[in-house]
Amino acid sequence: MSSSGPRQAAYRLGVLKGDGIGPEVVPVAVDLADLSARAAGLSVEWVELPVGLEAYGQLGDTLPQQTVEALHGCHGWVLGPVEHHRYDPRLSGMRNPSGTLRRLFDLYANERPARNLPAVPSRYEAVDLVVVRENTEGFYADRNVLEGDAEVLVTPDVVISLRVVTRRACERIAEYAFQLARRRARLRARPGRVTAVHKANVLRRGDGLFLACCRAVASRYPDVALDDVHADAAAYFLVRDPQRYDVLVTTNLFGDILSDQAAGLVGSLGVAPSLNSGDEHAMAQAVHGSAPDIAGSGVANPTAEILSVAMLFEWLGRRFDDPAATEAARRLEEAVGAALSAGVRTPDLGGSATTAEFARAVRARLAPGSML
Catalytic residues: 140, 199, 232, 256, 260
**d(C-alpha 32, C-alpha 35), whole Å:** 5
Q: Which 3 state secondary structure label does DSSP give 209?
A: helix
Question: What torsion, rounded to 10 degrees, do the Cα atoms 350, 363, 128, 301 define?
Answer: 40
Residue 192 host element (H or E): strand 192-198
Kindly report the CA angle at 3 between 332 and 287, in degrees rounded to 5? 40
DSSP code per residue over 55-80 = HHHHHS-SS-HHHHHHHHTSSEEEE-
Give the residue among 111, 98, 112 at the shortest CA–CA distance from 62. Answer: 98
Chain centroid to CA 149: how far? 24
Chain centroid to CA 254: how far? 15
Helices (H), the chain: 22-39, 52-59, 65-72, 97-104, 167-188, 206-218, 231-240, 252-265, 303-319, 323-341, 355-366
Largest CA distance in the chain: 67
Question: What torsion, rounded to 10 degrees, do the Cα atoms 324, 325, 327, 330 define?
Answer: 170
The strand pairing partners of 48, in sequence order, are 15
Give the residue among 249, 105, 250 at the shortest CA–CA distance from 184. Answer: 249
Question: Reading across the β-sheet that carries 11-16, which strands appear in turn?
Answer: 44-48, 11-16, 76-79, 282-284, 275-277, 109-115, 128-134, 247-250, 192-198, 224-230
Q: Are 206 and 240 in contact (CB under 8 A)?
A: no
